């Protein structure tokens, strides 16, 4: 990897993790909280999009169709969140299984509650 001037070992031996950390400013394995908040925001935005159909356009966006879309999009987002955090922490000693489990369980319970009670 070609580094900007002032980074690396001058001999072109490649970038070390310390050089990459200096360029980025923060290591990615420390960003679990930001990715978790982004996932929750995406899940809430997905509900907001389907809620527009539930409450404002029920003639064009029937409730069963909205529930199906919400469930499928939630599953896609959850798989993406899981892969993001796990790939981000690959090769490190970090372990975020607890925060992943709580976050995914919370959105799963929220999804089931929304599907059961919204739009009926």
DSSP per position, 9-64? -SS-----HHHHHHHHSS-GGG-HHHHHHHHHHHHHHHHHHHHHHHHT-TTTS-HH
Over the chain (120 residues), the average pLDDT of each successive run of 10 is: 60 59 66 92 94 83 88 96 88 83 96 88
pLDDT of residue 31: 83
Structure tokens given for 107: 């959105």
Distances (CA, A) of 97 to 14, 33, 101: 32, 13, 6
Reported pTM: 0.74
pLDDT of residue 2: 63
Those residues whose C-beta lies under 8 Å from the C-beta of residue 60, and which sit 6 or more positions away, are 53
pLDDT of residue 25: 58
For the chain, the domains span 1-26, 31-117
């Amino acid at each position: 990897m070609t580094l900007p001037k002032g980074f690396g070992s001058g001999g072109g031996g490649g970038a070390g993790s310390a050089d990459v950390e200096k360029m980025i400013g923060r290591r990615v394995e420390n960003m679990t909280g930001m990715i978790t908040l982004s996932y929750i925001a995406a899940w809430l935005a997905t509900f907001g999009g389907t809620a527009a159909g539930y409450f404002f356009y029920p003639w064009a966006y029937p409730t069963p169709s909205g529930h199906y879309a919400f469930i499928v999009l939630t599953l896609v987002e959850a798989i993406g969140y899981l892969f993001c955090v796990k790939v981000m922490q690959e090769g490190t000693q970090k372990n975020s299984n607890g925060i992943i489990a709580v976050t995914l369980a919370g959105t799963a319970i929220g999804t089931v509650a929304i599907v059961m009670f919204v739009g009926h």
